[in-house]
Structure 1
Amino acid sequence: MKKILAFGASSSKTSINKQLATYAANQFENATVEILDLNDYEMPIYSMDKESATGIPQLAQDFYAKIGNSDLIIISFAEHNGAYSTAFKNIFDWTSRINGKTFQEKEMLLLSTSPGPRGGATVLEIAKGRFPFQGGVVKGSFSLPNFSANFDSEKGITNPELHRELMKIVMLFKKMSPLN
């Protein structure tokens, strides 16, 4: 059985991106799914001075180990001022100090959503361009616009066209690298 690691790249306790990542991860049958909460990995803001003084925090090492123990990583990005949330960026910065290939050549499905019509498309493009340099094998991406109009906490993606689009990507993952 394959292991899926999923999380919303946000520290919001009611993260719409965590909801989307959880929904997407649960579309893979016969896989174990672990959903992370970035609040469980809160660390001092990265700086070379802090790293020199205290080393890499255990939480960064734990996060890195979670990546290493997975077969597929699903991340849904919150867009803060056109880029990653501070919570995600800090974890990313710390774990990249363990290994520049942070994502350890793991397959990735990258997602984003927002309340607006672009669905976090800007941050999604940043991640798609950056993560291959960090050891991520980006196999698919999906942006969900207008979250509250297109997603229900019980039903998932309610817009039939957008639901088909995500399911098409999930099916491609299953064909490329069967997780079942």
Structure 2
Amino acid sequence: MMKVLAFGTSNSRKSINQKLARYAATQINNAINNVDIILLDIHDLEMPIFSEEREKESGIPAFAHDFYQAIGEADAVVISFAEYNGSYTSAYKNLFDWASRIDMKVYQNKPMIMLATSPGPSGAQSVLAAAKGSAPFFAADVKGALSLANFFDNYDVEAEQVTDEAFNEQLNEIISKL
């Protein structure tokens, strides 16, 4: 059985990126039978802001170890990046920074699909480009990166489905590389 870890990088309980990550994981399950989807909510992994002083005083928080372990136990990872002011969310950046203190190879050479979405026309492309560009330094095997612009125009909330056919075709191409 293939284990797929999926999460959005926003700590909002109404995260559209969490919805997109879940959707992509479901599409993986549809394409590759016998998939165990693990949905991670980073809202549940909040911890003190990283600093070397905190690390020396208290060590690496358990939630950072939990995050790192969840990636390690997965066969593939789906991340949908929320964009705050053109960059990573502070919640994700903090979680990532703590996990990188365990091992700089945070992504542990896992096959990965990187996604991003936003309510506007940019589709969070800035943060997606940053994430994809830095991925090799953190041992990510990125199979593809894809942005969905205008989330609320391209996602059916009731059906929990992306309605943009071009996006779906590209996502299926990426899934075939897993």
Q: What is the SS of the residue equivalent to 1:26?
A: helix
Letter paired with 2:23: Y
Q: Which of 159, 163, 168 lines up with 2:168 in the alignment? A: 163
Structure 1 segments of 4+ aligned residues over 3 angstroms from their partners: none
Instruction: Specify every segment of 5 or more residues in structure 1 that has no aligned partner in the other structure, as ranges.
Output: 174-180
* Number of aligned residue pairs: 173
Tell me if 1:84 matches 2:88.
yes
Of all paired residues, the percent bearing the same amino acid is 49
Query: What pairs up with 1:33-112 in 2 under 5 angstroms?
Result: 33-112=37-116
* Equivalent position amino acid for 2:167 in 1: L
- Confirm whether residue 124 of structure 1 aligns to residue 141 of structure 2: no
Indicate if the aligned counterparts of 2:49 and 2:94 stay in contact, CA closer than 8 A.
yes
Distance 2:140 2:170 in 1: 22
Describe the SS at the equivalent of 1:75: strand
User: What do the CA deviations read for 1:116-165 (whole angstroms, capped 9, x no partner)?
Assistant: 11100000000001111011111111100000000112141112222222
What CA distance in whole angstroms lies between the structure 2 residues aligned with 1:159 and 1:128? Answer: 22
1:74-106 Cα distance to aligned partner (Å, 9 max, x none)? 000000111100000000000000001111111
Aligned mates of 2:9, 2:38 — CA distance in 1? 14
Q: CA deviation at 1:22?
A: 0.2
TM-score (norm 2): 0.94
**Residue 114 of structure 1: how far off its partner (Å):** 0.2
8 A contact 2:68–2:106 mirrored in 1: yes
Matched, 1:2 2:2: yes
Whole-angstrom distance in 2 between the partners of 1:8 and 1:115: 15
Match of 1:25 in 2: 25
RMSD (Å) for aligned C-alpha atoms: 0.9
